[in-house]
Amino acid sequence: GLLMNVGIPTSSFQAETELKSGFNAWKVRPGLSLGYANSQLYVYGFGSYAWYGEEVFNRIYLGAEIGLRLSEKLIIAAFLSSFQAIEEDGIGLDFNLTGLYINGQQYNTVTFKIINEFIPNKFGAFAAFGGGSGDLVASSPALTFGVFLR
């Protein structure tokens, strides 16, 4: 399917902590997602390009996930993602007053998931372990847990 994400300029700065949140720039991010599924397997992928106003790098987002149903309740999956900054002429990295959102952040990740559907196709939980590498991002792996309803 086609995707469209529009962001408005929102940012705040706290002098006490020197942290800034959000981007003070407009964003337009069209994209495309494709997927396939049957009773044992699913495959999903997406891609998009984000244009930012002001002096913020544009970005490319890519991702793909594949999952395999091992039993009525158990699914394993792998997810790959990439978030790449595209440098524009004249735009440099600004470490002053950027805090949590540093212009030029980019990364590649791989995540493995195990999903248990307690009530098949209705309710379940998952655990995921992922990590990756990149520029201007935390480099430690993540372990996440969650529950879901369909």
Calculate what percentage of the chain has a pLDDT beyond 70. 81
Q: Rg of the chain's alpha carbons, rounded to an integer?
A: 18
* Contact assessment for residue 98 and residue 105, using Cβ atoms and an 8 Å cutoff: no
Predicted pLDDT of residue 88: 58
| DSSP H helix total and E strand total for the chain | 0, 10
CB crowding 68-90: b at 16 or more within 10 Å, else e: ebeeeeebebebbbbbbbeeeee
What confidence tens digit (pLDDT) does each residue in 75-129 have? 999 999 999 988 755 455 554 444 455 667 788 999 999 999 999 889 999 999 9
How many Cα atoms within 13 Å fall on the side-chain side of residue 16?
Answer: 0
Predicted pLDDT of residue 96: 46
Predicted pLDDT of residue 140: 80
